[in-house]
Amino acid sequence: KAGVTQTPRYLIKTRGQQVTLSCSPISGHRSVSWYQQTPGQGLQFLFEYFSETQRNKGNFPGRFSGRQFSNSRSEMNVSTLELGDSALYLCASTRQETQYFGPGTRLLVL
């Protein structure tokens, strides 16, 4: 069974731009969670989607948003990028209460 896939794997943007990241969960998994990982803050929860509905949200500003499609694929969007948004963005899909992570998208904001 294929794992969680994330695209793109690497991305370079400049301040003020926006970015959209994509995540395809493991087939049959309906819950998708997003995390941000930075050296200083570690892994921090962004939000979780289940059946196209956001069920939980972490403590991030409104510039961070997401959505989930009927096929369980998910996207997250960051608008008005700031230097501090440079991070590894991780997506995880959940089945039977266990999260399985993708390889991440490394975003660099210049």
Residue 78 C-beta: closest distance to another protein, Å: 19
Q: Give how many residues touch another protein by CB under 8 A.
A: 25
Candidate residues 48, 68, 74, 76; the one interacting with another protein per rule CB under 8 A: 48
Q: Which is nearer to another protein, 15 or 57 (CB)?
A: 57
> Within positions 16 to 35, which residues make up the interface with another protein, using CB under 8 A?
31, 33, 35
Three-state secondary structure call for residue 39: coil
Question: CB–CB of 52/68 below 8 Å?
Answer: yes
> Within positions 74 to 93, which residues make up the interface with another protein, using CB under 8 A?
88, 90, 92
* Residue 22, CA distances (Å) to 54, 59, 73 in order: 16, 21, 8
Q: What distance lies between CA 83 and its chain's CA centroid? A: 18
Candidate residues 12, 43, 108, 110; the one interacting with another protein per rule CB under 8 A: 43
Q: Exposed, middle or buried, 97 (CB in 10 Å: 0-12/13-18/19+)? A: exposed
Determine if 4 is a binding residue for another protein (CB under 8 A): yes
Q: Give the integer Cα–Cα distance in Å for 54 and 20.
A: 17
Candidate residues 78, 102, 107, 109; the one interacting with another protein per rule CB under 8 A: 102
